[in-house]
Amino acid sequence: MTNLRSKRNIFIFLVLLLVGIPLTVFLALKQQDIRSRAGGGGVQFEMSPQIATKAPNETFSIDVNLNSGVFSPAGLDTTITIDKDIVDFVSFTPASSFDTIINNSYSASSGILRITAVDVSNTPPTGTVKVGTLTLHAKNVGTATVTAQNDPQVVGLGQSTALPIGTNLNGSYTIAVPTPTPIPTATPIPTNTPVPTVPPLTPTPTLLPTDTPTSTPIPTATPTPTPIPTATPIPTATPTPTIIPTGTPIPTQIPTNTPAPTNTPVPTTIPTDTPTPTPASQFVGDANGDGCTGILDFGIWLTAFQQAPLPNTNPDLNGDGSINILDFAQWYNAMHDPIVVKC
C-alpha cells in the first residue's frame, strides 16, 4: 500500500512539473515587465556620437543604437527627424541586428526617416543593439539636431504590448567654418661679435726631477706552524636485541545464516490517468486559421502591413482594429511559446 501511494505521488508531481514549467517562464517574463514599468525603465534610442563639430560640405556618419535594457527586442517601428535646413540626408544603412527590413524611407520635404525592422530568428538581440548607420552631408552653418521621436513602437520577447520608452539620447551637430591657425613670425637670430686675438705666450722651461736612491728591502721571518692534537675516538655501545612474544591465535567463529522470510507479493493497482487541461497561451499567431503557427502566418501579417490584408485571413492578431507591429509581437511570441502548436 505504501508503494502504491508513493508511485501515485511521483506521477502527480511529474504532471504538475510538466504543466508548471511553461507557465512559470511566462509569469516570470510578465513580472519582469511590471518591475521595469514600475521602476521607470525602458528602451531608448541613442545617437553615437551625440555631439560633434563638422565643417561645411563635410560628409559624416552617425550610429543609431537601441539600448534594450532588460528586454530582448524583436522588432521596431520608429521615425527619426533630421534638421534638413542644416544637413542633407545621404543614406541609412541597416545593421544585421534585425534580419528583415520592412521600411527604410526618407521624406526630403519633412526631413523624417522611417525605420521598420523585425527579427524572425530564434535568438533576439540583447543589450545595446545597433539599428543602423545614418550618413549626413553638412550644407549650412548652424546646429543640426537628429531626434528619435518619443512615440516609437518596440516589441520584445515575452511582451504582448509595446515596450516602455525611456529618454532618448538625441544628437546635436555644429556646422562651422574652421578658424585658420595663424603662422608664427620667425624671430631674427643676433649676429655674433668678433673676439680679439691674443698673442701666444712664451713657453717656460721645464725642470727635470733628480733621481732619489732606492732603499734595500729587509727579509721577513717565516712563522713556525703549531701542531694540532688528534682527538681520541669514543667506543660505540652495542644494542641489545628485543625479544617479541608470539601471540596465541584466537579461533574464529563462523556465524550461521538465518533464512529471511519471503514477502508475499501485493497486487499493484495502476491508477487511471486523469486528463490535464492544456493551458491556453496569451499569444495568438495563427493568421490563416489552419490551427498552427508558422512562417506562413508571418507572411500574411507582412503582406497586410505593407499592402492590404489577404482574403480569408486575420492579420490583426491582437484584435485592436489595426495592422501594426504589435500584431507581429503576437506572432513572434507565439512562435516562442511551447504551448502553441507550430506548423
For the segment 28-42, the average pLDDT, to the nearest whole number, is: 49
Q: Which of 155, 175, 195 is the last residue of a domain?
A: 175
Q: Are residues 50 and 119 located together in one domain of the fold?
A: yes
pLDDT of residue 91: 97
In a domain, 264, yes or no: no
Contact 300, 290 (CB under 8 A): no
pLDDT of residue 19: 55
pLDDT of residue 321: 92
Q: Which of 175, 206, 236 is the last residue of a domain?
A: 175
pLDDT greater at residue 161 or residue 63: 63
pLDDT of residue 188: 73
Lowest mean pLDDT among 143-152, 181-190, 315-324: 181-190
pLDDT of residue 107: 96
pLDDT band at 192 (very low <50, low <70, confident <90, very high): confident
Q: For residue range 208-237, what is the model confidence (pLDDT) as tens digits?
A: 555 555 555 555 555 555 555 555 555 555
Q: Are residues 93 and 165 located together in one domain of the fold?
A: yes
In a domain, 185, yes or no: no
Q: Are residues 171 and 89 located together in one domain of the fold?
A: yes
pLDDT greater at residue 258 or residue 73: 73
pLDDT band at 260 (very low <50, low <70, confident <90, very high): low
pLDDT of residue 68: 92
SS3 string, the chain, reads CHHHHHHHHHHHHHHHHHHHHHHHHHHHHHHHHHHHHHCCCCEEEEEECCEEEECCCCEEEEEEEEECCCCCEEEEEEEEEECCCCEEEEEEEECCCCCEEEEEEEECCCCEEEEEEECCCCCCCCCEEEEEEEEEEECCCEEEEEEECCCCEEEECCCCCCCCECCCECEEEEECCCCCCCCCCCCCCCCCCCCCCCCCCCCCCCCCCCCCCCCCCCCCCCCCCCCCCCCCCCCCCCCCCCCCCCCCCCCCCCCCCCCCCCCCCCCCCCCCCCCCCCCCCCCCCCCCCCCCECHHHHHHHHHHHHCCCCCCCCCCCCCCCCCCHHHHHHHHHHHHCCCCCEC
d(CA 170, CA 328): 27
pLDDT band at 58 (very low <50, low <70, confident <90, very high): very high
For the segment 44-59, the average pLDDT, to the nearest whole number, is: 96
pTM of the model: 0.60
| 40 has pLDDT over 70 | no
Q: Are residues 50 and 166 located together in one domain of the fold?
A: yes
pLDDT of residue 268: 63
Contact 45, 148 (CB under 8 A): yes
pLDDT greater at residue 207 or residue 38: 207
Q: Are residues 36 and 50 located together in one domain of the fold?
A: no
CA-based nearest residue to 125, from 163, 98, 102: 98
In a domain, 235, yes or no: no
Q: Are residues 20 and 63 located together in one domain of the fold?
A: no
Which position has the grid cell 522588432?
75
pLDDT greater at residue 326 or residue 11: 326
Q: Are residues 132 and 18 located together in one domain of the fold?
A: no
d(CA 155, CA 243): 93
301 φ, ψ (degrees, to nearest 5)? -65, -45
| 148 has pLDDT over 80 | yes
In a domain, 68, yes or no: yes
In a domain, 183, yes or no: no
pLDDT band at 73 (very low <50, low <70, confident <90, very high): very high
Q: Are residues 157 and 55 located together in one domain of the fold?
A: yes
Q: Which of 159, 175, 191 is the last residue of a domain?
A: 175
Q: Are residues 72 and 90 located together in one domain of the fold?
A: yes
Q: Provide the number of structural domains found in the chain.
A: 3
Q: For residue range 85-138, what is the model confidence (pLDDT) as tens digits?
A: 999 999 999 999 998 999 999 999 999 999 999 988 768 888 999 999 999 999
CATH number assigned to the domain comprising residue 163: 2.60.40.680
Question: Domain residues for 30?
Answer: 1-40
Q: What is the mean pLDDT of the chain?
A: 78
In a domain, 36, yes or no: yes
In a domain, 262, yes or no: no
pLDDT of residue 35: 42
Q: Are residues 169 and 106 located together in one domain of the fold?
A: yes
Lowest mean pLDDT among 119-123, 267-271, 295-299, 330-334: 267-271
In a domain, 151, yes or no: yes
Q: Are residues 27 and 71 located together in one domain of the fold?
A: no
Q: Are residues 54 and 164 located together in one domain of the fold?
A: yes
CATH number assigned to the domain comprising residue 313: 1.10.1330
pLDDT greater at residue 39 or residue 142: 142
pLDDT of residue 303: 92
CA-based nearest residue to 159, from 340, 333, 341, 324: 333
d(CA 172, CA 70): 27
